[in-house]
């Protein structure tokens, strides 16, 4: 099954409209040219990383890296559903932290759902695990989420310092959804299954080669080098490898132009709003201090705004009010871990649900939202408490 990180055409349409609107705002002077230049200089490395990382994830999926890992998880699951599920939790957590939330929600979900079906297990706990961890687990490293990359650039932190700042919240962001899935699906995770043999990869050279490239990329992303550099090198290596072993998979559609258009359009439009006083209007709502109350207000505002309009514009709108590392961490908790409830809270959720529908897995939006409306607030509040306690301890 071939999945894509950026397969919804409406994303490109919305992005193109926003780019045209942004260009009009710039041309008419509503968006000052110096503000447009500043946002361009700040975001081009971020967007280049997004393009390179997307190509890496797409080609790793083509090469069968995720499928090979998941199949081996099934063989070491000791015949117990909960063991396989915990191994999937670990895989989803690592994929989210190191390769971004979209990789987990869009590319890993079909793999683990197929694994569950192969083992004759209920696929829903596996599907919920991937979409929740994709969002709530994307707090630890800059590369985990586009919002994190923007925050790291604004704070001028390296990956190590960023991880140290976000670690308390990141632990909570992983633990709460895992506990929630374990409670909601405790019966289906208590069953046993017959062990299955691992199928041989169709192209072992391609799978192993791609796996080596991804394995080498992971430490490079936290080495302190500008992340777009190792990601671009890894993308180039995989393009060459796949072109040699499976030329038909190398296409222009690997480039996530829809997501890039959407991001550029949002940058221009929200920057215009900031130039016209958006931050000043929002300041009374989100507070200005770094006490527990103000941190909860900022994180809660980020979560509400993300569920209302999507997490990227929510972050961009509130970013100027995250005036120190603690406030920035709280904002990221809100717009990442809190962006769970509505289908449009993050693009990954919409794309994830499309994948499930295409695979015949039924999860009504009403049930999903009912579960998420409990998980999201609990995660946000506990994560902010963890941040605050670590700061004052």
Q: Tens of pLDDT along 50-77?
A: 899 889 988 998 998 888 888 788 777 7
| pLDDT for 186 | 95
In this structure, are residues 131 and 348 in contact, taking their beta carbons and an 8 Å threshold?
yes
Nearest Cα neighbor of 385 from 266, 321, 293 is 293
The structure tokens listed for 62 are 């083509």
Residue 227 CA to residue 49 CA, distance in Å, equals 7
pLDDT on residue 167: 97
Residue 282 and residue 321: Cα distance in Å, rounded?
8
Interior/surface letters 300-315, b for 16+ CB within 10 angstroms, e for the rest: bbbbebbbeebbbbbb
Give the whole-angstrom CA distance, residue 393 versus residue 389: 6
**Confidence bin at 389 (pLDDT 50/70/90):** very high
At 232, list the tokens.
Answer: 């671009």
**Burial label, 186 (beta-carbon count in 10 A; 0-12, 13-18, 19+):** exposed
Angle between helices 204-221 and 65-75 (to 10 degrees): 100
**CA distance linking residue 106 with residue 364, whole number of Å:** 18
Tell me the pLDDT of the chain averaged across its residues: 90
In 3D, which of 91, 80, 92, 180 has the Cα closest to residue 121? 80
pLDDT score of 4 = 61
Closest by Cα among 290, 49, 256 to 159: 49
pLDDT score recorded for residue 14: 87
Rounded alpha-carbon distances, angstroms, from residue 258 to 12, 277, 308, 349, 392: 4, 29, 21, 16, 43
Phi, psi dihedral angles at 149 (to 5 degrees): -60, -40
pLDDT digits (tens, 9 = 90+) for 275-301: 888 888 888 888 888 899 999 999 999
Among the listed residues 4, 191, 229, the one whose alpha carbon sits nearest the alpha carbon of residue 79:
191
Question: Residue 119: which residues within 8 A CB-CB, separation 6 or more?
Answer: 74, 77, 81, 84, 193, 196
Mean pLDDT of all residues in 33-60: 90
- pLDDT value, residue 1: 44
Whether the per-residue pLDDT at 249 is higher than 60: the answer is yes
Fill in the DSSP letter of residue 104. I
Residue 203's pLDDT band (boundaries 50, 70, 90)?
confident
The pLDDT score that the predictor gives to residue 5 is 61
Give burial (CB, 10 Å; 0-12/13-18/19+) of 224.
exposed
- Which residues, in sequence order, are CB contacts of 339 under 8 Å at separation 6+? 135, 303, 306, 307, 310, 311, 314, 345, 346, 349, 376
pLDDT in tens, 3-32: 566 556 777 888 899 999 999 999 999 999
Q: 159-191: per-residue pLDDT in tens? A: 999 999 999 999 999 999 999 999 999 999 999
Does residue 311 have a pLDDT over 70? yes
What stretch of H or E contains 210? helix 204-221
To the nearest 10 degrees (0 to 180), the angle between helices 65-75 and 33-62 is: 50
CB under 8 Å to 293, separation ≥6 — which residues?
287
Query: Which pLDDT score is estimated for 114?
Result: 86
What DSSP character marks residue 197?
P
**pLDDT interval class at 340 (50, 70, 90):** very high
Token pair of 295 as six digits: 């941190």
Is the pLDDT at 241 greater than 90? The verdict is yes
Q: What does the pLDDT read at residue 50? A: 87
Q: Where are the alpha helices (DSSP H) in 246-310?
A: 257-275, 278-286, 292-309
Q: What is the dihedral of CA 380, 382, 387, 390, to 10 degrees?
A: -170
Question: What percent of the chain shows pLDDT beyond 70?
Answer: 96
pLDDT single digits (tens) 98-151: 988 988 988 889 889 988 888 889 999 999 999 999 999 999 999 999 999 999
- Assess whether pLDDT exceeds 50 at residue 352: yes
């Amino acid at each position: 099954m071939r999945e894509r990180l950026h397969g919804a055409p409406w994303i490109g349409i919305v992005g193109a409209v926003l780019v045209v609107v942004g260009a009009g705002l710039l041309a008419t002077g509503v968006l000052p040219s110096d503000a447009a230049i500043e946002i361009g200089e700040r975001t081009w490395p971020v967007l280049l990383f997004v393009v390179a990382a997307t190509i890496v994830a797409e080609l790793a999926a083509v090469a069968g890296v995720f499928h090979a890992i998941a199949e081996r998880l099934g063989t070491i699951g000791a015949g117990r559903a909960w063991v396989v599920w915990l191994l999937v939790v670990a895989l989803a957590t690592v994929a989210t932290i190191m390769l971004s939330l979209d990789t987990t929600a869009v590319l890993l979900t079909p793999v683990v759902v197929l694994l569950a079906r192969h083992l004759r297990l209920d696929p829903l706990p596996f599907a919920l695990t991937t979409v929740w961890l994709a969002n709530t687990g994307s707090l630890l490293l800059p590369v985990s989420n586009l919002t994190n990359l923007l925050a790291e650039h604004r704070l001028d932190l390296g990956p190590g310092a960023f991880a140290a700042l976000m670690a308390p919240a990141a632990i909570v962001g992983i633990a709460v959804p895992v506990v929630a899935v374990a409670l909601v699906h405790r019966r289906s995770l208590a069953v046993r299954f017959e062990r299955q043999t691992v199928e041989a990869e169709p192209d072992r050279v391609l799978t192993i080669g791609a796996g080596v490239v991804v394995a080498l990329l992971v430490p490079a992303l936290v080495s302190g080098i500008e992340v777009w550099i190792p990601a671009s090198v890894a993308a180039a290596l995989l393009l060459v490898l796949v072109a040699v072993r499976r030329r038909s998979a190398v296409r222009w559609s690997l480039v996530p132009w829809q997501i890039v258009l959407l991001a550029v359009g949002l940058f221009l439009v929200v920057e215009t709003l900031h130039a016209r006083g958006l931050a000043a209007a929002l300041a009374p709502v989100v507070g200005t201090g770094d006490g527990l109350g103000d941190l909860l207000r900022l994180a809660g505002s980020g979560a509400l705004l993300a569920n209302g309009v999507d997490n990227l514009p929510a972050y961009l709108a509130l970013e100027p009010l995250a005036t120190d590392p603690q406030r920035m961490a709280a904002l990221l908790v809100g717009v990442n871990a809190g962006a769970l409830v509505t289908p449009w809270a993050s693009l990954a959720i919409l794309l994830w649900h499309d994948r499930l529908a295409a695979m015949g897995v039924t999860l009504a939006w009403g049930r999903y939202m009912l579960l998420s409306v409990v998980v999201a607030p609990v995660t946000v509040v506990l994560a902010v408490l963890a941040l605050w306690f670590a700061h004052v301890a």
